[in-house]
Chain A
Amino acid sequence: MKDPYEILGVAPTASTDDIQKAYRKLAKKLHPDLNPGNPEAEEKFKEVAGAYDLVGDAEKRGRFDSGEIDAAGSERPRQNYYRDYATSEQDHPYTDDSGFADFMDSEDAFAELLRRSAQAQANRRGHDLEFRLPIEFIESIAGASRRLTLPDGSTLDVIIPPGIIGGQVLRLRGKGAPGSGKGGAGDVLVELEIKPDRFFTREGDDIYLELPVTLTEAVLGARIKVLTPTGAVTMTVPKGSNTGTTLRLRGKGAPKHAGGYGDQFVKLKVILPKDPNPELEAFVSAWEGGKTYNPREEVAP
């Protein structure tokens, strides 16, 4: 902090009277309550008041002059000034509008502006309420309905249409906070978040599923049950299928924008039995074809 005498604009030899005079002169100019629109005045006033606290009374001044105390930390702490309350929103008993009553007669432009704003506020639309709703992958394809609990305790049924994409926002018109007057209620906005699925993935309107099949089903062909978002269907695994063979279930994907549906692609994965099987080992060791076929022909020498 600067030298208190300097702040007050007096010589270090000034009399106590002169110091008080100098302080009063500054305080009349700088007191925050007399300068409601000027934040700078408050800063300066704090400094000036701090300086006066230090050298304004004879005893403290003696201790300061002898170096016993210094100027550090002598700034007056921030207090709540009258100005902090006087213009706050709520009505208080000291409001006095006689200073501009002449502006407020009904013909005046100010009066008109205030009237229009009061009207606009009287007919304000209610706020939108925003929610995030996690849904299962299957629900995003097939659709679902959910019951939301709103902040006021009421419930709202949300119909999730089929074929939703993650991040999509549903707007429920007029279900948000009530407006005032003719303003009407706001909307409820529901952002849908699709939880990742263990089995299904989606690309565009098509969905993909990796499906384990047995060696027998792959070699001999089979009819097996496959899960789709709209329920299980029976699918033919052709004879001689392999890991990576991809089968198409037409129309079992996500609904398309333009109508119709995407497809579900089922990628087969041949899985051998978990436990070693002596019968299988015996067969494979006797099987000549298994020894001459080289699937790595193109990959390794």
Chain B
Amino acid sequence: MKISKDEFLSLAGLQHETLDAWIEEEWLRPRGSSVEQSFSDIDIARARFIRDLQVDLGVNDEGVGVILNLVDQLYGMRKTLMELRQAIRITSEQD
């Protein structure tokens, strides 16, 4: 689902400046041009996660960047692991 910037701000409960700062830090990576940015459900969930890190877990801005970097690698690996599981299933079906 495509979400416009204004919708995103209200759905994620963010201020304009906060969002711009997060995008500047590359914590959020909207699609589209810088003039017409578009967001989706995963961005809302990610914004909520960042909020949790800052408010609930007390992580400072430096920490948020480090965590997001590691989390992205973790999910990238999980995704590849799932692909491998699928690959094993398909190739063993063939044999």
Contacts and interface: CB of A to CB of B under 8 A. Distances in A.
Interface string B60-72: 0000000101011
Interface string A79-114: 111111111000011111111100000000010011
Contacts of A93: 29, 31
Contact residues on B (Cβ < 8 Å of other chain), bracket: 35 or more
Interface stretch (A116-124, A213-221, A237-245): A116-124
Interface string A262-281: 00000000000000000000
A94 B75 CA distance: 9
B78 A85 contact: no
Interface in A104-144: 110, 113-114, 116-118, 120-121
Nearest to B94: A120
Contacts of B29: 93-94
Nearest to B91: A116
Nearest to B41: A85
Given A116-B87, A116-B91, A120-B94, A82 B45 contact: yes
Contact of A117 (B74, B77, B87): B87
B80 A97 contact: yes
A83 to B, nearest CB: 7
B10 to A, nearest CB: 17
| Secondary structure type dominating chain A contacts | helix
A27 interface: yes
A80 B31 CA distance: 21
Interface string B34-54: 000000111001101100100
A21 B15 CA distance: 27
A114 B83 contact: yes
Contacts of A100: 76-77, 80
A301 interface: no
B21 interface: no
Interface of B: 29, 31, 40-42, 45-46, 48-49, 52, 56-58, 67, 69, 71-80, 82-84, 86-88, 90-91, 93-94
15 contacts: A33-B71, A34-B67, A36-B74, A36-B75, A82-B45, A82-B48, A82-B49, A84-B45, A85-B41, A86-B79, A93-B29, A94-B29, A94-B46, A99-B74, A120-B93
10 closest residue pairs by CB, A with B: A117-B87, A99-B73, A85-B42, A96-B72, A86-B75, A93-B29, A82-B49, A82-B45, A96-B76, A117-B90
